[in-house]
Chains A and B, each alone.
Chain A
Amino acid sequence: MAIIEQPAPVGAPALPAAPTPTRTYGALRRPVATTGWKSWVFTVDHKKLGIMYGVVAMFFFIVGGIEALLIRLQLAAPNGKVLSADVYNQMFTMHATTMVFLFVMPMAAAFANYFIPLQIGARDVAFPRINAFGFWTLVGGGIIVNLSWFLGGAADGGWFMYAPNSGPVFSPSHGVDFWALGLQITGIASLTGAINLIVTVLNMRAPGMSLMKMPVFTWLQLVVQFLLLFAIPVITVALFLLSFQRNFGATFFDVSAGADPLLWQHLFWIFGHPEVYVLILPSFGIISEVLPVFSKKPLFGYPFVVFSGAAIGFVGWGVWAHHMFASGLGPVSVAVFSIATMAIAIPTGVKIVNWTMTLWGGKLRFTAAMHFAVGLIVLFTIGGLSGVTHSVAPSDTQQTDTYYIVAHFHYVLFGGAIFGLFAGFYYWWPKMFGKQLNERLGKANFWFMVIGMNLTFGPMHMIGLQGQPRRMYVWTEARAGEGFFNIAFWNMVASIGAFILAFGVLLFLINVFKTTRSKEVAPLDPWDARTLEWMTTSPPKEHNFDAIPTVHHLDEFFHRKYEQDPNTHEMKQVATAEDILREQEANADKHIHMPSPSYWPIVLAGGLPVIALGIIYSIPVAIVGAAIVVLALFGWSLEPSTAPDSDFDPPASGDGTKELAPLG
């Protein structure tokens, strides 16, 4: 890690080991290890952090998935006995919380972390230590949220946690406290991450890369970071109110003290609706990369996709009350939000048109990534259209809080967000690990997931329209209707579908396992890709690029490989990826100096869960946590961004280096 004085060509023998520094000061040296667990735990490298984000998110995906399977087991037959009412309520609360905050968001963050710097030709993010801090904070928050399972029961108020049901009287266990404080902590992670990536994108693009030459994935992630920047503070306020109500006797949502419980709903959904776009836009970005690559065509209407993404980002702030059409807002508010919600369908529709037109007239190669991308178009369209049906407010008063809504948002979030993430796995795996995921297994993975997902969530449309509400720990034969295809039948189908879906995900894990063990190395440019991240080795070197490329085109890499024949107008290959890499290595920048790893981010992040536990159980413990935080902040502010030369093995000669990421 850290110092590369003169980038060595790929495959060059390692330098001979040099003697250790003669003298070190203090208790500990900077953690400059390049191998072993220390190189991961104390790293500030955006790629390592990206991978760790991915691993943690994948872990929580499995946790959330098991929760979902338990829910479907309980509901497979009437009067289910698998879970008690109490545990069931905890289960669906934690399923949603885990999937939203601990899987989709961190997984999107994993891709953002890994690929934004690569796509814009930067060597790291703007604030590498803050990046590490964000990751460890997320881990701490995730642990706190889930710790409640072992300490008297998890949160049981639904992920929307409506007041006053979330108050100390109605939810007496500590579950909601863990939930509120855990999410508060993950909120810190999201917020620091958002600021970091915004600064990175705005300031650290390669020369020549104007905003309108930026890859779409980076663009949509930028929109997401702005959404987070403004949405997270709102939920922070709401969670503070909730925590104070629960832990310190405040009365923000206490009706007998004159409060209006709808305040929580407004706060939650002002955050919650932009949050939906936070979940879906990264996946839109991923397939906007995947579709052009496998169609051998640029994205159709690039500016329209970019601006419709930004439009969704803006209009997304004006539709929160469509989650509250049945809350009794009064006809004027309902009408306004109903129309605004319809309006947001337009930029979303634009995206679907653009993706379809990208395929149109292309040269389509159906790899696993492409399967998932096309799957997203179809499944997201279903989810989008069912969304239009409940933008019609009167219609929504029949559908809201029934399984129809569950069907809708699973088509949007599973068929949309998660399929996009899987497209990303298959597309970027060779870049991240230098090995290619098995394509055959990948396609099987896709088909099981597509069938499983449609069997699980398709019937929920019907269950919902026939009147089965959400969040019920049991349903009864008495309200299931008659005939063979009644609610009971579809509930069973949905439960079976859930296991097929789970098998599909299992295939992915098997694929990862097999690929990790295989010795086969992926080609440098396996997909004939178009963007900058493919212009370096796989996996990329620590400093990403030997020479920062100068950008002339959107899809710069493609245009370096192909040129249009002026006479026949046909695209001709003029260079291979290897040629381009060799040229880069030959013109490598001298003295690349990368930021050094640090203890402080993980120490600082470690203090936050201690504070949370202290607030729940005993204030002195919170003071200890606060002391850790202050200590770490102090240490952090004292620490230079690069370690002194004497910390390295071999000691570096400190002359003439330039700091590329001096902040953070």
Chain B
Amino acid sequence: MPTSVRRFVAGAAGLSAVALLAGCAKNAPQDTWQPKGPNAQKIDDLQKPVFAIAGIVGLIVFAAVAYAVFRFKDRGQPIPEQTHGKPVLEIGMTILPALLLAGIGVFTFRTIFDLAKTDDTEMVINVTGQQWWWEYDYPVQTDYGITNPIITSGQLVIPTGTKVLLRETSRDVIHSYWIPALNGKRDAVPGRVHYLRLEADKPGIYAGQCTEFCGLSHAVMRMEAVALDKADFAAWVKGQLELADSPAEGTLAKEGESVFLNQCVRCHQVNGLKKADGSPAIAAPEENVWSGAAPNLTHLMTRNTFAGASWDLLTKECRKDVWEAPGGEFGKKYLAGVTEECLNQTDLRRWLRNAPAMKPMYADPTKLGPTDGKYRGMPNLGLSEDDIDKLVAYLATLK
């Protein structure tokens, strides 16, 4: 086989391999070709034909190059005539792709404006990025039983079949919110509010990842969108509106509460938590953290993940059980939250022992000059194993 042919075969094989093998990985959580909602579906409907057209054009070019390479190899033929081109062919080959692209352009145009619509919104959620986690807050919307603002982080919970509009912004640098199964990405830019439409067809967990480089721990800034059917969503809302109860006197959890009051409440709010004197304990992250916010932990155990949705609160088996639950049962399983036996103690303890060792953060107290002594991320609190036992017991009560 002449080299020329081999070259063509290599090229063509490479391309077809791209086309064929793309389908080979099953259920990658962030697969962009598996839409699970109408917005992502619109993108998919547009991009699949474009990929096909691009593939066909590619094959035509490769075939032409391969033919020329093979057919016109120097076998001692005379020097060809020194022609300088055929204007008709040239003009034709300019107009043809122009027409093709004009066709694609029309559909692109329509999709862009469809995806930018906001007048059919049924629910809004504020999404705020900061290094390196997402905060969600639900403005008061009595239609959904949200009589007081709800605040949570890591996992965004939405009702299925509802046109949700995210209002994205950021407290520090630019982040980008992306749940591939539900829609394309949109940057969260400090000082601006950007929209993103989100709608899920079926209950389930949809994985996502911050996609705008946002500094040190960009790789471990994740998020998940959890879709619940409307009844389950109402139950979730009801649960989120409740205040945290203080654990019973004499339990390990009660001791954990005082550790929390000593250490964690500087940044982390637990709604309903009271100081020893009975006044409400209010966190002051703005005094300790550059972004001025830290995750609200009131209902920590209703979430599956922690620390920027990067580590599981559930053990492996329990996680599998929830993530792979069929549509009908998913809601119930998710709402059950993290039970005692399902709690992934290993990662949680590791985190409490030394958070910056698990997720790189700017937490070295000697290097906080540029931020006026404020941390970016969570510092190592230097807790004793005893304190960690107590804290884990307390955190497990935050349902």
Is A–B contact present in the complex under a CB 8 A cutoff?
yes
Residues on A lying within 8 angstroms of B by beta carbon are 84-86, 89, 156-158, 162, 164-165, 168-172, 255, 259-262, 295-304, 326-328, 330-331, 334-335, 338-339, 342-343, 345-346, 349-350, 352-354, 356-357, 359-366, 371, 374-375, 377-379, 381-382, 385-386, 388-389, 392-402, 443, 450-451, 454, 458, 461-462, 464-475, 478-487, 489-490, 554-555, 558, 562, 564, 569-571
Q: Do the beta carbons of B116 and A366 come within 8 Å of each other?
A: no
Complex A-B: 19 CB contacts under 8 Å: A162-B212, A302-B84, A304-B85, A331-B116, A346-B98, A346-B101, A354-B85, A371-B7, A374-B65, A374-B69, A381-B62, A398-B184, A401-B213, A462-B25, A466-B25, A469-B210, A472-B219, A479-B209, A481-B31
Q: Do the beta carbons of B29 and A262 come within 8 Å of each other?
A: no
Q: Which residues in chain B, 112-171, are within 8 Å of chain A measured between CB atoms? A: 112-113, 115-116, 131, 168
Selecting from B173-181, B295-303, B344-352, the interface stretch reads B173-181
Q: Do the beta carbons of B43 and A397 come within 8 Å of each other?
A: yes
Q: How far is the CA of A331 from the CA of B290 in the complex (A)?
A: 33
Q: Do the beta carbons of A486 and B50 come within 8 Å of each other?
A: no
List of A residues within 8 angstroms of B77 by Cβ: 363
- B51, B367, B376 — which one has the most chain A CB atoms within 10 A of its CB? B51
Q: How far is the CA of A483 from the CA of B31 in the complex (A)?
A: 14
List of A residues within 8 angstroms of B27 by Cβ: 481-482
Q: Which 9 A-B pairs give the minimum distances between C-beta atoms?
A: A467-B30, A397-B184, A481-B28, A301-B85, A472-B219, A485-B24, A328-B194, A331-B116, A395-B47
A453 shortest CB reach to chain B, Å: 10
Q: Is B202 an interface residue (CB 8 A)?
A: no
Q: Do the beta carbons of A328 and B215 come within 8 Å of each other?
A: no
Q: Do the beta carbons of B116 and A330 come within 8 Å of each other?
A: yes
Q: Do the beta carbons of B215 and A165 come within 8 Å of each other?
A: yes
Question: Which single member of A365, A474, A480, A562 contacts B74 (CB below 8 Å)?
Answer: A365
Chain B 62-104 per-residue mask, 1 if CB under 8 angstroms from chain A, else 0: 1011001100111001111111111101100110011001001
Q: Do the beta carbons of B17 and A458 come within 8 Å of each other?
A: yes
Selecting from B53-61, B269-277, B333-341, the interface stretch reads B53-61
A155 shortest CB reach to chain B, Å: 12
Selecting from B185-193, B236-244, B278-286, the interface stretch reads B185-193
Q: How far is the CA of A162 from the CA of B105 in the complex (A)?
A: 29
Name B42's closest neighbour in chain A (CB-CB).
Answer: A394
Name B94's closest neighbour in chain A (CB-CB).
Answer: A350
List of B residues within 8 angstroms of A480 by Cβ: 25, 28
List of A residues within 8 angstroms of B31 by Cβ: 465-467, 481
Q: How far is the CA of A487 from the CA of B183 in the complex (A)?
A: 21
List of B residues within 8 angstroms of A162 by Cβ: 173-174, 212-213
Q: Do the beta carbons of A471 and B47 come within 8 Å of each other?
A: no
Question: Which single member of A302, A401, A485 contacts B185 (CB below 8 Å)?
Answer: A401
Question: Which single member of B82, B189, B213 contacts A327 (CB below 8 Å)?
Answer: B189
List of A residues within 8 angstroms of B195 by Cβ: 328
Q: Do the beta carbons of A172 and B360 come within 8 Å of each other?
A: no
A228 shortest CB reach to chain B, Å: 27
Q: Do the beta carbons of B47 and A392 come within 8 Å of each other?
A: yes
Question: Which single member of A86, A156, A356 contacts B65 (CB below 8 Å)?
Answer: A356
Question: Which single member of B28, B216, B290, B367 contacts A486 (CB below 8 Å)?
Answer: B28
Number of A-B contacts (CB under 8 A): 346
Q: Is B380 an interface residue (CB 8 A)?
A: no
B322 shortest CB reach to chain A, Å: 14
Name A169's closest neighbour in chain B (CB-CB).
Answer: B370
List of A residues within 8 angstroms of B24 by Cβ: 483-486
List of B residues within 8 angstroms of A354 by Cβ: 85, 90
Q: Do the beta carbons of A392 and B108 come within 8 Å of each other?
A: yes
Task: Given A255-B190, A570-B79, answer yes or no on A168-B370 (Cβ-Cβ < 8 Å).
Answer: yes
Name A466's closest neighbour in chain B (CB-CB).
Answer: B28
Residues on B lying within 8 angstroms of A by beta carbon are 3-4, 7, 10-11, 14-15, 17-18, 21-22, 24-33, 40, 42-43, 46-47, 50-51, 54-55, 57-58, 61-62, 64-65, 68-69, 72-74, 77-87, 89-90, 93-94, 97-98, 101, 104-105, 108-109, 111-113, 115-116, 131, 168, 172-174, 176, 178, 180, 183-187, 189-192, 194-195, 207, 209-220, 290, 360, 362, 367, 369-371, 376
- B25, B29, B55, B97 — which one has the most chain A CB atoms within 10 A of its CB? B25
Q: How far is the CA of A554 from the CA of B82 in the complex (A)?
A: 11
Q: Do the beta carbons of B186 and A165 come within 8 Å of each other?
A: no
List of B residues within 8 angstroms of A338 by Cβ: 105, 108-109, 112
Q: How far is the CA of A472 from the CA of B54 in the complex (A)?
A: 29
Q: Do the beta carbons of A458 and B112 come within 8 Å of each other?
A: no
Q: How far is the CA of A451 from the CA of B17 in the complex (A)?
A: 14
B92 shortest CB reach to chain A, Å: 9
Task: Given A356-B61, A472-B218, answer yes or no on A342-B111 (Cβ-Cβ < 8 Å).
Answer: no
Q: Do the beta carbons of A399 and B32 come within 8 Å of each other?
A: yes
List of A residues within 8 angstroms of B184 by Cβ: 326, 394, 396-398
Question: Which single member of B104, B180, B376 contacts A398 (CB below 8 Å)?
Answer: B180
List of A residues within 8 angstroms of B82 by Cβ: 297-298, 555, 558, 564, 571
- In the complex, besides A377-B61, A479-B28, 8 extra interface pairs with C-beta distance below 8 angstroms are A156-B216, A301-B86, A302-B84, A304-B94, A342-B101, A346-B94, A397-B184, A490-B25
Q: How far is the CA of A311 from the CA of B332 in the complex (A)?
A: 60
A91 shortest CB reach to chain B, Å: 13
Name A443's closest neighbour in chain B (CB-CB).
Answer: B3
B6 shortest CB reach to chain A, Å: 9
B113 shortest CB reach to chain A, Å: 5
Task: Given A374-B7, A398-B32, answer yes or no on A482-B190 (Cβ-Cβ < 8 Å).
Answer: no
List of A residues within 8 angstroms of B191 by Cβ: 255, 259-261
- B17, B187, B360 — which one has the most chain A CB atoms within 10 A of its CB? B187
List of A residues within 8 angstroms of B73 by Cβ: 364, 366
Q: Do the beta carbons of A296 and B79 come within 8 Å of each other?
A: yes
List of B residues within 8 angstroms of A165 by Cβ: 173-174, 213-215
A483 shortest CB reach to chain B, Å: 4
Name A166's closest neighbour in chain B (CB-CB).
Answer: B173
B10 shortest CB reach to chain A, Å: 7
Task: Given A255-B190, A481-B29, answer yes or no on A571-B81 (Cβ-Cβ < 8 Å).
Answer: yes
List of B residues within 8 angstroms of A458 by Cβ: 14, 17-18
Question: Which single member of A356, A392, A487, A571 contacts B68 (CB below 8 Å)?
Answer: A356
List of A residues within 8 angstroms of B174 by Cβ: 162, 164-165, 261
Q: How far is the CA of A10 from the CA of B186 in the complex (A)?
A: 66
Q: Do the beta carbons of B187 and A164 come within 8 Å of each other?
A: no
Q: Do the beta carbons of B176 and A360 come within 8 Å of each other?
A: no
List of A residues within 8 angstroms of B190 by Cβ: 164, 255, 261
Q: Do the beta carbons of B216 and A85 come within 8 Å of each other?
A: yes
Q: Do the beta carbons of A164 and B65 come within 8 Å of each other?
A: no
Question: Which single member of B7, B80, B97, B186 contacts A346 (CB below 8 Å)?
Answer: B97
List of B residues within 8 angstroms of A363 by Cβ: 72, 74, 77-80
Q: Do the beta carbons of A454 and B65 come within 8 Å of each other?
A: no
Q: Do the beta carbons of B72 and A301 come within 8 Å of each other?
A: no
Q: How far is the CA of A418 from the CA of B33 in the complex (A)?
A: 31
Q: Do the beta carbons of A402 and B4 come within 8 Å of each other?
A: no
Q: Do the beta carbons of B32 and A339 come within 8 Å of each other?
A: no
Question: Which single member of A84, A330, A461 contacts B360 (CB below 8 Å)?
Answer: A84
Q: Do the beta carbons of B30 and A158 come within 8 Å of each other?
A: no
Q: Do the beta carbons of B84 and A301 come within 8 Å of each other?
A: yes
- A162, A361, A364, A490 — which one has the most chain B CB atoms within 10 A of its CB? A364
A196 shortest CB reach to chain B, Å: 31
Q: Do the beta carbons of B97 and A450 come within 8 Å of each other?
A: no
- A299, A350, A354, A382 — which one has the most chain B CB atoms within 10 A of its CB? A382
Task: Given A85-B216, A451-B10, answer yes or no on A297-B172 (Cβ-Cβ < 8 Å).
Answer: no
Q: Do the beta carbons of B176 and A326 come within 8 Å of each other?
A: yes
Q: Do the beta carbons of A364 and B207 come within 8 Å of each other?
A: no
Q: How far is the CA of A402 from the CA of B86 in the complex (A)?
A: 41
Q: How far is the CA of A454 from the CA of B11 in the complex (A)?
A: 9
Q: How far is the CA of A573 from the CA of B306 in the complex (A)?
A: 78
Q: Do the beta carbons of B101 and A481 come within 8 Å of each other?
A: no
B356 shortest CB reach to chain A, Å: 11
List of B residues within 8 angstroms of A394 by Cβ: 42-43, 46-47, 108, 111-112, 115, 184
